[in-house]
Structure 1
């Protein structure tokens, strides 16, 4: 039994006419008659008793008509709610950013995006590189602001934002704070403070140690504020990247560029999103963020 046949049947009853029902359903009168006959054949009962040009409903027809109206109403409501849900999903933007990120441009981009597109609901989450990658991979977010740690994948839009310099935040009580720059060799003598959840500590340490070349020991903080409190208490140094405009280091902290082989260490920052999830809001936000980052004073 097709929903279409139920619609045809209820239309005939509502119109009290096969001709008017056919016009309402945009089919021929013969076609609507055939569909109702097929429905009766499938049910094995007569729904409409025909007499010359008039018809009346049988008891089975009365029963089927009442329940068909109820079912069709429920189907319409289901269709409407499903479409609404789909529209709501298209009007949201879920953003992920690095837990150690502190640039001001992300906040500015979110504020400006909300001003331009007030109908879009924005949700924001932070995490380590691998946590953000998993969120993106499994559909937990639409877009992430992340550092590049692996080769670009064809499954994603790899929207490069900027290449930024690496810095070390140090307590003014640390002797290295008297220098203009610090080298990786200098930093091996003090603990490196990383922002990472307990589950991601090993992955973060392995990357900083084996890929970036940070030696020495490691301390971990759950968030940026906690990491900076460790710096203030002279427990170690906090590596950060200048992705846009960084807030002032504070009266008890200095921020020095990290050098390696005579050049400042740099990192590549990108906005990533899955190609099949690409859409107007995602693309507009990424472009807005990149524009703000490149307008930031150097």
Structure 2
């Protein structure tokens, strides 16, 4: 049994006229009649009653027509889904992102992407950089939006979205809030709220080294895994924190932000993906990120 035979049968069953059915499927009437006959022989059941005046469906033919319609609809649906996936318009896309990305053009890019490709099932997962790289390696996410500092991205494709400096977040009534810019040496003896070392070991160690080089004895008051928790602890007066510069886009109540003076690491926001997963679906998402970052960081904004 072939799909073309099912299409021929559907045309005859709906037209109840071999001539009109032949025109509909663009073949001559004799081969159409032969294909229907072969279909009936294969099934061992008459599907049509033919006479010189009319063509009618047998009860078996009417039941078979329902199944044929369902089969052909599913075949057409499968073909449409595959073509749409090849165009990056359908499918499932799993994206990991660091919490810091929420203060960048990333959320706007996600909204742009969802509006343009509503049929794509987009799965967003908030996780640290090290976990993203591990899940990328295992194929559990398709794209990672990470904060790069010292990680080895050999074996991944990657592209820098943003490069930014840290600012110092402090309680609104903090003594350092009187300054427009805060020298690193002014942090000696000041309680700090930091990310745990396990989330970014190289970055943590570099920050500690830079502080000690400026004669600062770091006092770790609290650690927190997210920018939101760090900001809340700062607002509560637990200490000051180093936050990425874009954190000021969505300021936290009771928190002031000041640029730092002195040699301090920059951190890149990077999108990474596996070469073997360089699909149209992935590229459409990366394009949305690029467009939004470009529009929001263009001169004059």
Name the TM-score, length of structure 2 as normaliser: 0.65
**1:209 has 2:192 as partner:** no
Q: Which runs of 5+ in 2 are unaligned?
A: 210-217
| 2:230 alignment counterpart | 227
Which secondary structure does the structure 2 equivalent of 1:90 belong to? coil
Which secondary structure does the structure 1 equivalent of 2:222 belong to? strand
**1:292 has 2:288 as partner:** no
Could you give the per-residue CA deviations for residues 161-201 of structure 1, whole angstroms, max 9, x where no partner exists?
23221233245647798783216x9679844422xxxxxx6
Which secondary structure does the structure 2 equivalent of 1:214 belong to? helix
Could you give the per-residue CA deviations for residues 217-237 of structure 1, whole angstroms, max 9, x where no partner exists?
573335433211222344344
Could you give the per-residue CA deviations for residues 116-174 of structure 1, whole angstroms, max 9, x where no partner exists?
x9555588664322455567678887765432243446654x33223221233245647
Superposed displacement of residue 6, structure 1 = 2.6
Counterpart among 59, 64, 68 of residue 63 in structure 1: 59
Alpha-carbon distance change, 137 to 33 in structure 1, aligned in 2, over 3 angstroms? farther
Tell me the distance in 1 between the aligned counterparts of 2:53 and 2:9.
15
Superposed displacement of residue 245, structure 1 = 5.8
Judge conservation of contact 1:136–1:143 (CA < 8 Å) in 2: yes
Superposed displacement of residue 205, structure 1 = 5.1
Which secondary structure does the structure 1 equivalent of 2:208 belong to? coil
Moved more, 129-138 or 25-34: 129-138
Name the TM-score, length of structure 1 as normaliser: 0.66
Alpha-carbon distance change, 4 to 137 in structure 1, aligned in 2, over 3 angstroms? farther
Q: How does 1:1-298 map to 2 (within 5 A)?
A: 1-48=1-48, 62-75=58-71, 77-78=73-74, 83=80, 90=89, 97-101=97-101, 103=103, 105-106=105-106, 113=112, 120-121=117-118, 126-130=126-130, 132-133=132-133, 145-149=145-149, 150-152=151-153, 156=157, 158-171=158-171, 173=174, 180-182=182-184, 190-194=191-195, 203-204=198-199, 206-210=201-205, 212-214=206-208, 217=220, 219-221=222-224, 223-243=226-246, 246-247=249-250, 253-257=256-260, 259=262, 263-272=263-272, 275-276=278-279, 277-280=281-284, 282-295=286-299
Superposed displacement of residue 292, structure 1 = 1.1
Judge conservation of contact 2:165–2:267 (CA < 8 Å) in 1: yes
Tell me the distance in 2 between the aligned counterparts of 1:86 and 1:296.
41
Moved more, 64-73 or 271-280: 271-280
Judge conservation of contact 2:159–2:271 (CA < 8 Å) in 1: yes
